[in-house]
Structure 1
Amino acid sequence: MSQKLSLIPFYIESFVEPLAEIPQGVTMSQAPEIWDRSEKGKGVVVAVIDTGCDSRHPDLKDRIIGGRNFTDDDQSDANNFTDYSGHGTHVAGTIAASLNGQGVAGVAPEADLLILKVLRKDPVTGNFSGTYEWVIQAIDYAIEQKVQIISMSLGGPYNHPGLHAAVKRAISKNILVVCAAGNEGDGRHDTTEFSYPAGYNEVISVGAIDFEKRSAYFTNSNNEIDLVAPGMNVLSTYIGGRYAQMSGTSMSAPHVSGALALLINLGKKEFERELTEPELYAQLIKRTIPLGYPKTLEGNGRLALALPEKVAEVFGPLNMTNTRYTP
């Protein structure tokens, strides 16, 4: 099959010297405001299906519980999931970089990461891409490992039946699947750009905004966008123990993956049971704020994890339910 899934284009804005701070994207998502009640995502396993990860990075080495290489990099060594791009390492850091007093912290700084490498550098084009079969194998492996969340910042224009079936298998096992919406947008809400797997109704499709809460010029618009999160100049971990600011919906999706790790633990406390995938989706959408853009650009709005508590302070407990947006 000639079609391939590719790394959703992203932009390295700058490299940053070692520091000790909570990135602006994490604070804008209001994650620190619910860390205590959500145990910072402790015990929740997130599968990061991407370009691999720098497992020696000081902010990630304690978060990675395992990994697997599905590509033909490094002589197809299944145990070598080295990241040669930096993309997967950046995504992993936004989800769960440790709160260790150095570097950066992720949205869920005590969640666990399972690194599944499916994208490698094409020797001809130089682009990072992978076969549909590698991605499908990684999804099935994540299911076998009983992860609670799958995060994918990759995509392609081809609606592959096997990929869709794999996503459905994950959902049937109560796994939340989070995907970057794609960076083929033209800044208009009345045109449609689809990337898969983000285009499947079963997944949580995440678009990008900047820190001024403006829609990113590159973010895809379509009727499957569920919400938006920070995706411009996002600070996170990078290969070689470094840190970088990057832009793209690839940076937005991991904010939501980390948020769901927090909501899984929060849900257990509030409801005294494990919530189902649809219930966790409703809890996520309950924590969004509309920005005034059409739904094709922002879905239900921007991620705001502490919203119910803030509303309750003013108006009393918030009681609302949400379902997936269907145009």
Structure 2
Amino acid sequence: MVDDGVSGKKSWPYSQDGRPTQFPLPKDLLETILLGPADDRRVLQDSPLLGDVWAAYALDPGNTQDVLITPHRAATAADVANLIPDGRDIWDATRNTLGLPRPIPREKTFEYDPSTDTRTEELPSAKVAYLQGLVAAELYFDEVLCILVPLTQWWRLPQVRDRIEQLQPRVPQLRELLLSPSSTFVRTDQQSYNDYSSLERYVALAGLIFWIGRLQRPSAPATAPAKAGRQPALPPLPPPLTADQTVALYMPHVDEIIAGMIELYGIVQSNHDRLFAKLRNQDDADAYRDGEQEGFIFQVSLNRKATTALDRSVPSVKGDAAASLFKVKCNKIVWAVIDSGIDRTHPAFDVDDPGLDAAADARTPDSRIIKTFDFTRIREIISSRARDLAPADVAAIANAVGLTDEKVAGYLDEIARDFRDKRPINWAKVEKLITLKNIPEPANPHGTHVAGIIGANGNAFRNAKLREDKLKEAADSQAQGVAAAATTTRPKTKIISYDGMCPDIRLYDFRVLSKSDDNTEFAVISALQYIRYVNERHNFINIHGVNLSLSIPHDVRNFACGRTPVCNECERLVESGVVVVAAAGNRGFQKYETAQGPVENYAAFSITDPGNSESVITVGSTHGNWPHTYGVSFFSSRGPTGDGRLKPDLVAPGERVQSTVKDKQWAPESGTSMAAPHVSGAAAMLLARYDELVGQPRRVKQILCDSATDLGRERSFQGHGMLDVLRALQSI
């Protein structure tokens, strides 16, 4: 449809009212308005909406985004979470007054009144849920703009409040700012272009996204069928046009965009006053007084997607020699694997009993997987509308945790009541709804593979099968790992039996990655907070360590490096005495699109979260058999961190590592996901051998780093070197 590179009208469908249908904003246009021209981008936006939030709404202005809200120090997460539903009700009434379209329902939802045992239909759920120091909500941009932003500390700053009221004289400059991304726009006053305040940039971009979100949605079939009782998902918008074409779309409406944003300020302020008038009449009005003066919200970020860090091994790090020489037994050490799930039916995780003979193949042995927790549903369980889950969802939870529907409904009702009463998360109640009894197979084999590297038992291989289709390359190249003895595709070739790092260790299975794309930072943080709860409840270290073979890309424009929500939670967990090991990520080799074509190169500063956390042991990948020759894997993320700290901390084998997968099979995988569990196993061996190190994760990290073998590579590639378990044990 695009034919001239400039005319937006020939490039995009229009509605009957003469306006374009909803359209995405290209990245370069977004950054020009928000941060300034590319050749002079020294402006840092200081609004409470972080860069990833702007980018997400710019790509789809009319859809919801899942955001994480950090409360200001004057407020609790429970305070903020309870303000959002009240604010949504007031804003929805304003929508009707202004004749604005209401949100497209994502699902049929009801408000439950326990006093009358009735439900009334209301706004589509925002899936509001809170943890310690963090709130998650799924909101439209107009809700962020008109509910969250007025609750922020930033909104109460005099330079913000007063200058918004005085924007009218700056309308010509705001108009120029919106048109400036076009290459055909001629500026009459260069100084005024470079002199826009961050507030004016906020107003211009927010007004543009708000205006686009009110346009008609382009007609297109939904990409996913509707679930029972729910509306189909909104169809995605087509890819963005160029900056010139996009400006051409909204150029005739610039004055309307600016006027609408200035008018909106008065409406938002009026709604804000109504909200606090309502709060002042409540019994707990004193709890809101500080927040009203200082703000309830510090900042808003995107609830980022978490993915696996997946792109010859135990002998390479001398784990077998260390276990043999020091007679290390890890059966009293417990490690949490936060991943996609562990196949507990795999014989490599059986409790090894040498008294059983080969005739016992049909037995159902005890597993070293102590418990399995489903954190993929944590959001709906602890949300403000937990009691309003559809009967089918309640039944699914009941079946998974081995309770009756009535019991589950009762717990959900109690959790929802705790939410309304602004109580901290009651994990004693929540864990009853996430502890699986009828355990399904994992969403994918990644978690089982990771767990096998930490704790597979090669002596229990008699019920296992090798993935011969996957094994030929690894066997023929003399790959090492935790494979059991079996014939490969090469005749008469055998793979020697290997154990994981700690073949008697006990494991907790924390499932945060599902089969859908709803794997978020919030679920990972929930699991980390629950581990702290478990240890605090027992008054001693019950879960000694955590393995995070996950990758969440870090954007420097959103947070200081190592200070993202998931990194902060890792720091709290380490402070509580738990060893945390994370994959460095697989972004060490990247492909860039330039005007001259694609360019491939190695990428520095590519460590992903939670590996950017200072106290976490961040692990890169190296070749398993010939690490001194081949060095660090090409895909392994490289440091330093964005703020100049050394990362990764060390490297471990991560190429073609043999380990357990689902269906009682074995297969090779590569990635820093495979390197991290080697270090988890090494840390567990240290704790098992020297129990005085339990509760001292920073000391464990220091020992592993100081004893690593130098591969002769740059520190930003290899960290302190390659993991050496034997030397680590000998160094104490």
- Normalised to the residue count of structure 2, the TM-score between the two structures is 0.38
Match of 1:222 among 639, 657, 662: 639
> 1:141-156 residue pairs with structure 2 within 5 A?
141-145=530-534, 146-156=542-552
Displacement of 1:308? 5.7
Mark the runs of 5 or more structure 1 residues left unpaired by the alignment: 12-23, 123-127, 313-317, 320-327
The answer to which of 168-177 and 93-102 deviates more is: 93-102
SS at match of 1:306: helix
> 1:43-58 residue pairs with structure 2 within 5 A?
43-58=332-347
Q: What's the counterpart of residue 21 of structure 1? A: none
Please state if 1:109 is matched with 2:469.
no
User: How many Å separate the matches in 2 of 1:190 and 1:85?
Assistant: 28
Match of 2:723 among 281, 300, 303: 303
Q: What's the counterpart of residue 193 of structure 1? A: 606
* CA shift in 2, pair 1:299/1:87, >3 Å: same
Q: What's the counterpart of residue 137 of structure 1? A: 526
Q: What's the counterpart of residue 69 of structure 1? A: 374
The answer to which of 133-142 and 173-182 deviates more is: 133-142
Match of 1:119 among 513, 517, 526: 513
Q: What amino acid is the match of 1:216?
A: S
Q: What's the counterpart of residue 307 of structure 2? A: 7
User: Percent of aligned pairs with the same residue?
Assistant: 29
RMSD: 2.4
User: How many Å separate the matches in 1 of 2:520 and 2:658?
Assistant: 29
Q: What amino acid is the match of 2:668?
A: Q
Assess if the C-alpha contact under 8 Å between 2:309 and 2:549 holds in 1. Answer: no
Q: What's the counterpart of residue 322 of structure 1? A: none
Q: What's the counterpart of residue 85 of structure 1? A: 444
> 1:148-187 residue pairs with structure 2 within 5 A?
148-158=544-554, 161-186=564-589
User: How many Å separate the matches in 2 of 1:99 and 1:144?
Assistant: 33
Q: What amino acid is the match of 1:215?
A: V
Q: What amino acid is the match of 1:114?
A: Y
Match of 2:697 among 268, 277, 280: 277
User: How many Å separate the matches in 2 of 1:283 and 1:5?
Assistant: 33
> 1:198-217 residue pairs with structure 2 within 5 A?
198-211=611-624, 212-213=626-627, 214-217=631-634
Displacement of 1:177? 0.5
Runs of 4+ aligned residues of structure 1 deviating over 4 Å after TM superposition are: 73-77, 187-190, 272-275
User: How many Å separate the matches in 1 of 2:676 and 2:341?
Assistant: 16
The answer to which of 111-120 and 73-82 deviates more is: 73-82
* CA shift in 2, pair 1:84/1:289, >3 Å: same
Q: What's the counterpart of residue 238 of structure 1? A: 661
User: How many Å separate the matches in 2 of 1:129 and 1:59?
Assistant: 30
Please state if 1:253 is matched with 2:676.
yes
Displacement of 1:293? 0.9
SS at match of 1:32: helix
SS at match of 1:194: coil
Displacement of 1:182? 0.3
| Rg comparison, structure with higher value | 2
Between 1 and 2, higher relative CO (CA 8 Å, sep ≥ 6) is seen in 1
Q: What amino acid is the match of 2:610?
A: P
Q: What amino acid is the match of 2:307?
A: L
SS at match of 2:507: strand
Higher strand proportion (structure 1 or 2): 1
Assess if the C-alpha contact under 8 Å between 1:81 and 1:115 holds in 2. Answer: no
Displacement of 1:161? 3.5
SS at match of 1:5: coil
Assess if the C-alpha contact under 8 Å between 1:69 and 1:81 holds in 2. Answer: no
Mark the runs of 5 or more structure 2 residues left unpaired by the alignment: 1-66, 68-301, 351-366, 379-392, 401-433, 462-483, 485-497, 535-541, 591-600, 641-646
User: How many Å separate the matches in 2 of 1:84 and 1:245?
Assistant: 18
Q: What amino acid is the match of 1:113?
A: L
Q: What's the counterpart of residue 125 of structure 1? A: none
Assess if the C-alpha contact under 8 Å between 2:580 and 2:617 holds in 1. Answer: yes
Assess if the C-alpha contact under 8 Å between 2:623 and 2:633 holds in 1. Answer: yes
* Deviation digits for residues 8-42 of structure 1 (CA, Å, limit 9, x no counterpart): 3524xxxxxxxxxxxx3111111111214252322
* Deviation digits for residues 22-79 of structure 1 (CA, Å, limit 9, x no counterpart): xx31111111112142523221110000001111111024321112001149945421
Q: What's the counterpart of residue 323 of structure 1? A: none
User: How many Å separate the matches in 2 of 1:273 and 1:220?
Assistant: 29
Assess if the C-alpha contact under 8 Å between 2:703 and 2:728 holds in 1. Answer: no
User: How many Å separate the matches in 1 of 2:565 and 2:522?
Assistant: 8
Q: What amino acid is the match of 2:370?
A: I
Higher helix proportion (structure 1 or 2): 2
User: How many Å separate the matches in 2 of 1:9 and 1:197?
Assistant: 11
Match of 2:321 among 30, 33, 46: 33
Assess if the C-alpha contact under 8 Å between 2:615 and 2:698 holds in 1. Answer: no
* Deviation digits for residues 211-250 of structure 1 (CA, Å, limit 9, x no counterpart): 2112111000012210000000000000111101000000
* CA shift in 2, pair 1:9/1:173, >3 Å: closer
